[in-house]
Every structure is written in structure tokens, then in C-alpha cells.
Amino acid sequence: MKEPRIHDRDLIAGLQKGLALMQLFNEQRPRLSVPLAARLSGMTPSATRRFLLTLVHEGFAETDGRHYWLTARALRIGQAYVDSAQLPRMLRPIVEQVARNTGEHVSVGVRDGDDIVHIVRSRYSHIASMSIRPGSLVPLYCTASGRLWLASLDQQAQADYFARTDLVQLTPHTITDPDAVRKRLREIAEQGFALVDQEFEVGMRVIAVPLYDRAGVLRATLSLTTHASRVSLEEMRLRYLMPLFEAQALLKPVMG
């Protein structure tokens, strides 16, 4: 689908800044002071304070006079997507089917800038993984879904990504050498799937396949997550790759 051209004159800067400010809150920064929020957002302290107070007034945040934090009302924004978007509803039956057939956790992720965000996850799960929480962002370079997206980029786009991204050692297994990651990306492009062993979370192995639309454009990824103690890497290929490829074929018409 062709993206509409949007001119700067049609944008509301205040809305952009308010949304950006809300996205500063995360697991590492559940509470923000005005000076910290101003520094992270690049806004002046006075403007930051007004934006935060507006969030408080609208019920999306609370404050003790020094720090600010989001309230449960902020969930309405993400839930609005879940309730209104057709894609998650159309994907769910196949996601649940793969989860039942494999006995593992299955999810669908889409690219959000330099991260992956999961929009559907199977209701069945025997694991507690940070990477599969709906709405949570995970990096491209060390996740199976993320590497599928990177493998789909041309050489220049890949180079731009590695130039602006710090490859952080998240676990003892995380590959942080850009050349080594590029080698994995070439393998992924050739084989059509990605397999990551405990690079984002210790104990978690993930196998993923791309989800293309009818024109062959990558739209999302379908991934299966399991605990390293349950199956070996080779067993993952043998057990789970075919069910994922079968789901890939079934979902192609759904992707548009």
C-alpha cells in the first residue's frame, strides 16, 4: 500500500511532542522528573512540564510534584489499535493453530523503526519472555524477527543501520560483531528463516519466518519461542520449521 505524502505544514507539533514524551517511559524509566524528561526529549524544561501536566490533567499520568508516571489509562492507546486493526484479528486463528500444533509460544511482529513490536501472541504459553509481550520493543540485530527484516534490506540500508546502531551485549550469547551479524543475515536471506539462540534473553531460543504479501513485500514475521532446555537448535528446525512455513503460506492472502 502506497504511503501518502504528508507535508510538514499539516503536522501538529504539539501532538508529536506529547506522543514522543509518553514513549520515554519504559521498564528502566518508569518515573521521570521534568529535568530528565526535558533532556531525553530535547525540549525545554518549561515545555516539558506543560506537556506532563497535560497528561496528568487528561488522566494519562500522575505526579507527586517531582516525578511523573503513566497511569493505566495509557493502555487505551495501544488497546485502540488491537480493537480497531483488522490485521491482528485475521492473524490470530493461524497463530493459535500453530501454537496448538507445536505446543510452543507463537507471535507475530512488525517493524517499528529499528525495533520489532509484537502485535499478536498466542494465548498458550509455557514461558515468560520479555521479547513476546504485546507492545514491547526488541532490537533488530539480536532477534530472529529483527534479523529477517535486516536480511531483507539492501546493502546500503544495512550499512546505514549498523552505522547508527550500537550492538549491545545483552547476554553472553549476543553477537556484537557487525561482520558476524552480516554473515548471519546472508544465511537468513538464502535459507528463508532465522534461528536465534539466547541472544536477546538467556534460555530463550526463537525461530522465525517472514510473512510476505501477494506482491512479495515483507509485512511481518511469524516467530516461535521456546526454552533452550526443551529442544536443541537442530530439533527446532526439524520440528517447527515446517509448521511455520505452512502458516506462512496460509497467511499470504491475509497480508494483502
Nine cell digits for residue 126: 509455557
The per-residue pLDDT string of the chain (256 residues; one tens digit each, 9 = 90 and over) reads 455 677 778 878 888 888 889 988 888 899 999 999 999 999 999 999 999 999 999 999 999 999 999 998 887 777 776 666 677 888 899 999 999 999 999 999 999 999 998 888 888 666 656 555 666 789 999 999 999 999 999 999 999 999 999 999 999 999 999 999 999 999 999 999 999 999 999 999 999 999 998 889 999 999 999 999 999 999 999 999 999 999 999 999 888 7
Q: What share of the chain is helix, strand, coil (3-state, %, to 5)?
A: 45, 20, 35
Q: Does domain 8-75 have CATH number 1.10.10.10?
A: yes
Give me the residue spans of the domains in the chain. 8-75, 85-251
- Which residues have CB under 8 Å from 222's CB, separation 6+? 95, 98, 106, 107, 108, 208, 209, 210, 211, 244, 247, 248, 251
Q: What is the model's pTM? A: 0.75
SS (H, E, C) 143-162: CHHHHHHHHHCCHHHHHHHH
Nearest in space to 203 (alpha carbons), one of 176, 180, 182, 172: 172
Fill in the DSSP letter of residue 25. -
Strand pairing report for 67-70 and 61-63: antiparallel
> Domain 85-251, what architecture?
2-Layer Sandwich (3.30)
